[in-house]
Structure 1
């Protein structure tokens, strides 16, 4: 025969539980207290419901000097953050005497905090269960009155030793908890690094395969067809070789950046640097300049030239009529902007353009031979210098903003 299970009265179960339990909100306000808790602490449920745990039980006349309340709060916050049960070893948490306001009695507790979840798995409340061991420690003091051959000083030493060992155990548990959290963070970082490396190798292999296949095909046709123009074959093969060289150079630069390979830096005046770099280039569209003098950064000129060159190459591919370069300063930050009046970048794609090998359709049309590594390299160079490279909103076109720390030894004019 099937067994009939009576309907469970959870309120009665909570109230009759021999363990002393509070039900706390996420803000640590007391939502319920069972009878065991009331008997143990002397608190009356009707008087403490709705009040904050640390208002009812501050832990002493000066809570800031009492370590117990701080450790219990840290445990409660861990439960909220992790959704896991958390145990606090023996703690001294003094309780105010009901009939003597302002007078606190030393009490010793062991605490277990457990999460209560809603249907979505979110921690909505905390079961705060406490076990008092004050009586045990008191019995140690009184042991010599019950036939145990120990002096009061020896009993007091036993009590101190017990409390010390429990505190050491609690500290060891906290250290283990910290080590496990660090271990999880390291494992997650390693997984992310491996996945990123696998994607990188896959994308790099795909990008290298195209020019290699083209080069191999042209050479095979040239060997099979004696009438083929050797000069044209060589020119086509040279283009493929140049593209391979560009891809390999980009890959090597990314590898150096990923490895955080140190490079020498020097003080660079951005205005003069931009002017000098533009003198080495021939742009297909006019470039307008608004360069504040005296904006100096500590940077590697080689890498900074690579960053600026990549931004300019990107702007030249997309600009309709002009490119604008601005150098300015904002307190301790140097700002370099490269803007174009091209079609711009849709808001949904602004993060993707900094992903390695990612190329938008517009970029593929304007430059079919691009690698999709220019902007990612530029951003990594900015990060290597302690800065940021962002794509900002602009009416008509795209505007890349590089922000770098200004040289600490320079307070030059930025106007």
Structure 2
């Protein structure tokens, strides 16, 4: 039984510029053989590039201004460096979202344990581990994962909770049912109407707002899965159900 070949995420640390170059290379148009999914992939690549160009203007301009002020305002050096770090962290967060939201689907013949994929996604998402409660059931932990999109879905959900959740605690429940695996992410204070609005569109957004959720929707559909959500007692739960083949 396999969740659709997933590749091992690299643990080598990269600088912000290396990350930017890598993400852009992954989304640049390249010659492809005729394939029924080519149009969908191209649309998603274009959406990611447009989103990056749109959303990175302001933080890059702010970072440039801060760095240009370091020598002119030595008394405020510590404060300026802190602002630069904040903008760099914001840019890194955008790149994680973009990297997990499109580009060529990386495949390999090897499969991985779902437990390892989940832990790798948590590590790659930028979500502080202290903010996350992870419940990974034993029967789901050893499910074989054979498609990179499973990890991308997880990274997008966790990154979205990190960027837009205001620091609220996050709970991720991974369970196995007959013929399905469920990835359920819960967080309080989430604007349910806005989430549902993002999920109701078939067109990619013009910026990074909603891009992660749009990508989750696309990738889940491609894997033959389905999306469910509930909003109870101030807590929003978003569930991705994937077929365990």
Q: TM-score range by the shorter chain?
A: 0.5 to 0.7
> CA 1:276/1:215 → structure 2, altered by over 3 Å: closer, same or farther?
closer
Which of 205, 216, 223 is equivalent to 2:53?
205
Equivalences for residues 76-91 of structure 1 within 5 A:
none
Equivalences for residues 238-249 of structure 1 within 5 A:
238-249=85-96
2-structure distance, mates of 1:207, 1:325: 31
**Partners of 1:379 and 1:388 within 8 A in 2:** no
RMSD of equivalent CA atoms: 4.3
Q: Provide structure 1 residue ranges, at least 5 long, that are not aligned to the other structure.
A: 1-185, 360-371, 408-415
Please name the residue that 1:251 is paired with. 98
Q: Compare relative contact order (CA 8 Å, sep 6+) and give the higher one, 1 or 2.
A: 2
2-structure distance, mates of 1:344, 1:226: 41
Which of 402, 412, 415 is equivalent to 2:240?
402
Pairing 1:214–2:81 present: no
3-state SS of the aligned residue for 1:260?
A: coil
Please name the residue that 1:342 is paired with. 189
Pairing 1:229–2:51 present: no
Q: TM-score under structure 1 normalisation? A: 0.38
How big is the shift at 1:231?
A: 3.4
**Partners of 2:45 and 2:102 within 8 A in 1:** no
How big is the shift at 1:252?
A: 4.1
How big is the shift at 1:327?
A: 0.7
1-structure distance, mates of 2:187, 2:244: 25
Please name the residue that 1:141 is paired with. none
3-state SS of the aligned residue for 1:346?
A: helix
Which of 202, 222, 227 is equivalent to 1:390?
227
Q: Provide structure 2 residue ranges, at least 5 long, that are not aligned to the other structure.
A: 1-34
2-structure distance, mates of 1:314, 1:200: 15
How big is the shift at 1:251?
A: 3.2
1-structure distance, mates of 2:79, 2:237: 40
Write the deviation string for residues 127-161 of structure 1: whole angstroms up to 9, x where unpaired: xxxxxxxxxxxxxxxxxxxxxxxxxxxxxxxxxxx
Aligned residues: 200
How big is the shift at 1:267?
A: 4.4
1-structure distance, mates of 2:101, 2:156: 13
Specify the structure having the higher radius of gyration (Cα).
1
How big is the shift at 1:406?
A: 1.5
2-structure distance, mates of 1:288, 1:250: 21
